[in-house]
Structures are given as C-alpha cells and as structure tokens.
Structure 1
Amino acid sequence: MAGTVLSVLVAVGDSVTDGQDVVVLESMKMEVPVQSEGAGEVSEIHVQPGDFVNEGDPLLELK
C-alpha cells in the first residue's frame, strides 16, 4: 500500500519476530501498520517519518 511513513517502530540492531509491526504508514487518512515478513535482526532502515513509499518499496532489511 502506498502512503507516508508516520513512524518507524524499530532501530538498527533490534530483533524482530515474524509479523511484528515495524513501520506505521498513513494512507487515505488511515494509520496502517506494516509487519515484518520474517524474524531476524534489523540491519538497515531505508525510510524515515515523512517519506512517501509505494507498494513494494523496501522499508528495512533483516539479517
């Protein structure tokens, strides 16, 4: 879903579980949580609050 990044809920080095909320987007005046697609450690974050993203854009990387 395309939208504007409202908040990034994790930081580089954080451990995340499969399905954990990692980013919150605003799309059509609704807050939409985005969940991780797997478990791992956050190695890189590609977005920050205020960025506009399109569906399929990488938001972060896990290792």
Structure 2
Amino acid sequence: MKQVIANMAGTVISVLVNTGDEVQAGSDVVMIESMKMEVPVAAEVSGKVKVVKVNPGDFVNEGDVLIELEG
C-alpha cells in the first residue's frame, strides 16, 4: 500500500483530495500549517485515494500517515 506521510509536525489546514480521487506523483494533497507557514504535502507516487486519515484542524507529527493510496 502506498502512503502519503507528513514531512513535518503541524496542523492540517486543508485536505485537497477525496476518497476515490486519482492523484499523480508530485500533486499536493494536504496543506499543513507549521511555524506560521503553509506547507504543502505532495504524493510521492501516483494512485487512487483509498483512505483520507486526517481532517482540517487535526495535529499531525512528522511521519504520520495522512493518506493511503492504491494502484
């Protein structure tokens, strides 16, 4: 299973994809606010969104799984 992982700790400000969406490698899928900056998190691989594990307002730590992809 392919996963999109948080690259830093912060608060999720938006989720840019929904379950079932197709994403391409390099596409931004989540925006995190960290140290007063908005930081995009991109998918490293292409695939179909299987599960979105976070919601806006959630705090995430570096290494947390944000989205699971299939395909």
TM-score interval for Structure 1 and Structure 2 normalised by the shorter chain: over 0.9
1:39 counterpart residue number: 46
1:10 paired to 2:10: no
Identity of aligned pairs, percent? 65
Counterpart CA distance in 2 for 1:37 and 1:60 is 11
Deviation, 1:8, is: 0.1
Structure 1 residue ranges without an equivalent (≥5): none
Structure 2 spans left out of the alignment, 5+ residues:
1-7
Larger strand proportion, structure 1 or 2? Answer: 2
For 2:44 and 2:20, how far apart are their aligned partners in 1? 17
Q: Which consecutive segments of 4 or more residues in structure 1 shift more than 6 A?
A: none
Per the alignment, residue 25 of structure 1 pairs with: 32
- In 1: Cα distance, 2:66 partner to 2:26 partner: 14
CA distance in 1, matches of 2:68, 2:44: 10
User: TM-score when scaled to structure 2?
Assistant: 0.88
Higher relative contact order (CA 8 A, sep 6+): 2
CA distance in 2, matches of 1:8, 1:56: 17
Q: RMSD over aligned Cα, in angstroms?
A: 0.3
Q: TM-score, normalised by structure 1?
A: 0.99
